[in-house]
Amino acid sequence: MLFFRGAHVWKGFHGPAQLINATWPEIQGPVDAALRIHHKASPGVHDSVYLFQGERVWAYAGGRLRPGYPRLIGEEFKGVPGDLDSAVECHPEDCTAESLLFFKGGDVFSYDLGLGVLKRRSWPGVTHCSAAGRWLGRYYCFQRVRFLRFQPATGQVPPGYPRDARDYFLRCPGRGHGHEARRNATAMGIRDPCSGLAFQAFTADDVNRTYAFRGGQYFRLDSQRDGWHSWPLNHTWQELSGLVDSAFSWDNKLYLIQGSQVYIYRVGPGYTLVQGYPRGLQEELGIAGADATFTCPHSAELFVINGNSLERVDLNQSPRSPRLEGSIRHEHVDSAMCNADGVHLFHGNTVHHYASVAELTMSPKPSPPQNVTAVLFGCPH
């Protein structure tokens, strides 16, 4: 994440300030707004950084100014005014189409990159954004030292905002949203992925986002570049609290299991609880319970582990009923996950890796144990 202020830019959450023109020499003085476009369907703009100043916009790709820039903002993005306050890209899963959101005073403009159409939004709760940004699937409007989180398709702001940016995005002595809780070693350990405390559940979705659940917290990894980040469960899933026993992903939905019930959340924009849930596991999946569950990317086959038994449930089937797939060389596992790298079985602070479900069922003995925090979180042994 890049933070701009005056003639300087901070790259990341800590480290020294740098002059903006040391990285982008064609820019002199402060910028009004900045965004990065991540749009693989449009190679001409994909992974470009746009810097806005007055009536003009500069576009950089690979650190170099793209030919033909700077241009007038209204020529690059038809109808978008100059002298902006802030701007942020909105991904299709959050805004239904690849879009850019522009903020100026009390006005919010949504620009459809594919259609080149500009629409004005009426969002009374999201105005006067001196900066805007997207971070790990969440959208933020900064109102100088305060900030709020908003839903980019509707402009809705969840309860508890605005908050002070010095407690979340900046490293200020004596401040931080976990400052008081850090005095409690247990609370700190739950939020520290390297603390050695066991996780209750893991899962990965079709776009390879990884979720790890521990206590009333969850950790999410979108990419190694972004790193792991932790939030309370009800910060994302308002209806959920306590421990998540098992989890899996299918059909752009996240299934979170607590005891004999399952919560199903539709993913994007945000997470929305499917109407009528939670429901009983027996009613939904045809199972009474599970030590662990997992689905592999882009597959409708749910695998359920109880003891050393592996069952398979066809999620496209109705009603659903489990069929025995085979046995595994583990007497008990706490959780399981399948992603692009294969199947992972977790027990305590160890993880066992298998290239596929077939390898898991055919293996004559458990694969070598590895340290969970070292493998997934990069923690020292």
Q: What local confidence, expressed as pLDDT, does residue 179 receive? A: 42
pLDDT (tens digit per residue) in 116-167: 999 999 898 898 999 999 887 789 999 988 899 999 988 999 888 888 887 7
Helices (H) and strands (E) in the chain, counts: 8, 33
Contact between 283 and 218 (Cβ < 8 Å): no
Q: Is residue 178 part of a domain?
A: no
pLDDT (tens digit per residue) in 16-66: 889 999 999 999 889 999 999 877 676 677 778 999 999 999 999 888 999
Is the preceding peptide bond at 162 cis, omega within 30 degrees of 0? yes
pLDDT (tens digit per residue) in 69-121: 999 999 999 999 999 999 999 988 788 888 999 999 999 999 998 899 999 99
Q: Are residues 207 and 98 in the same domain?
A: no
The SS3 assignment for 378 reads coil
Q: Are residues 24 and 87 in the same domain?
A: yes
Last residue of a domain, one of 139, 167, 195: 167
Q: What local confidence, expressed as pLDDT, does residue 92 receive? A: 83
Share of the chain above pLDDT 70, in %: 92
Q: Going by C-beta distance under 8 Å and a sequence separation of 6 or more, which residues neighbour residue 235?
A: none
Boundaries of domain holding 351: 187-377
pLDDT(182) > 60: no
Q: Supply the DSSP string of 277-343, one letter for each residue.
A: -SEEHHHHHS-S--SEEEE-TT--EEEEEETTEEEEEETTSSS---EEEEE-S-S--SEEEEETTEE
Quick one: tokens of 340? 């692009």
Count the residues in the chain. 381
How many domains are contained in the chain? Answer: 2
CATH of the domain at 105: 2.110.10.10
Q: What is the Cα 71 distance to its own chain's centre? A: 33
